[in-house]
């Protein structure tokens, strides 16, 4: 792939937006858009593996998505289970390790079981780490982080004076992963949609008008190449 390896982000996060609009534009049910989006996930995972990206976080199902029609939510959970069940052998073959963040206990029992099964089966893989954000909300994560800190203080594990940015980060869902270097959002929308609010403080953003099912490896490479042309200053004058 043409992107220079020295400019490849270590961690890419993606807001996969536009499945519903993709389906509507073709006169199809919304679930068909989600099914088409699953193929874009496959392309993106393959592309990140080829580019030697270390971490890829996909905003797969937000905490707000539970408010969608019940039939759509059920269909999405079934699609998640089907994707995990069918793609596990491919993840193992491609040396991809699966992880998940969010309030995972909110998922149906069958979805939790399949998720944990795939996580266990790919645990020994050493290539790309694919992180699915499921029943995830950035504000909920921060609240859960505060509760975790308070419990640690009450148990005497830490003192209040020890709390700083690094300490707080260790109480978030993402404590085992680096912050994203690049955030990609499809469908042209200019908002974070409650995704990784703490972690994206200094993340480079790349917005494309393409709907998620139309996002390909070439689009991924274009985003990475644009990232490579930017100068990241972190508030410092260089």
What CATH number does residue 43 fall under? 3.40.1180.10
77 inside domain: yes
Instruction: Provide the pLDDT for residue 235.
Output: 67
The residue annotated as part of the active site, out of 19, 65, 125, 194, is 65
Residues whose CB falls within 8 Å of the CB of residue 154, separated by 6 or more in sequence, listed in order? none
Has 219 been annotated as catalytic?
A: no
Instruction: Provide the pLDDT for residue 229.
Output: 93
Has 17 been annotated as catalytic?
A: yes
200 inside domain: yes
- Which domain, by its residues, includes 114? 5-136+180-228
* Helix H or strand E encompassing 35: helix 30-51
188 inside domain: yes
145 inside domain: no
163 inside domain: no
Mean pLDDT in consecutive groups of 10 residues from the start of the chain, 238 residues: 71 97 96 96 97 98 97 96 96 98 98 98 98 98 97 95 95 98 97 98 97 98 96 68
Model confidence pLDDT, tens digit, residues 102-160: 999 999 999 999 999 999 999 999 999 999 999 999 999 999 999 999 999 999 999 99
The residue annotated as part of the active site, out of 7, 17, 144, 179, is 17
Average pLDDT over the chain, rounded to whole? 95
The tokens for 180 are 């994203």
In angstroms, the CA 143 to CA 102 distance is 12
116 inside domain: yes
- Total domains in the chain come to 1
Instruction: Provide the pLDDT for residue 92.
Output: 97
56 inside domain: yes
Instruction: Provide the pLDDT for residue 3.
Output: 53
169 inside domain: no
């Amino acid at each position: 792939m043409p992107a220079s390896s020295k400019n490849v982000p270590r961690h890419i996060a993606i807001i996969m937006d536009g499945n519903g609009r993709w389906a509507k534009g073709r006169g199809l049910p919304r679930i068909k858009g989600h099914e088409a989006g699953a193929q874009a996930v496959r392309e993106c995972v393959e592309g990140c593996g080829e580019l030697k990206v270390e971490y890829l976080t996909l905003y797969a199902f937000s905490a707000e998505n539970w408010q969608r029609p019940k039939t759509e939510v059920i269909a999405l959970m079934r699609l998640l289970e089907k994707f995990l069940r069918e793609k596990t052998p491919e993840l193992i073959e491609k040396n991809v390790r699966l992880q998940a963040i969010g309030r995972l206990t909110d998922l149906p029992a069958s979805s939790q079981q399949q998720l944990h099964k795939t996580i266990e089966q790919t645990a020994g893989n050493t290539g790309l780490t694919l992180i699915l954000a499921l029943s995830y909300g950035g504000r909920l994560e921060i609240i859960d982080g505060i509760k975790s800190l308070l419990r640690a203080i009450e148990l005497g594990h830490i003192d209040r004076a020890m709390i700083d940015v690094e300490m707080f980060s260790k109480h978030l869902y993402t404590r085992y992963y680096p912050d994203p270097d690049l955030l990609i959002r499809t469908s042209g929308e200019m908002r974070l949609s409650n995704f990784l609010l703490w972690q994206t403080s200094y993340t480079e953003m790349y917005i494309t008008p393409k709907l998620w099912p139309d996002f390909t490896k070439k689009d991924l490479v274009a985003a990475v190449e644009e990232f490579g042309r930017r100068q990241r200053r972190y508030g410092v004058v260089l």
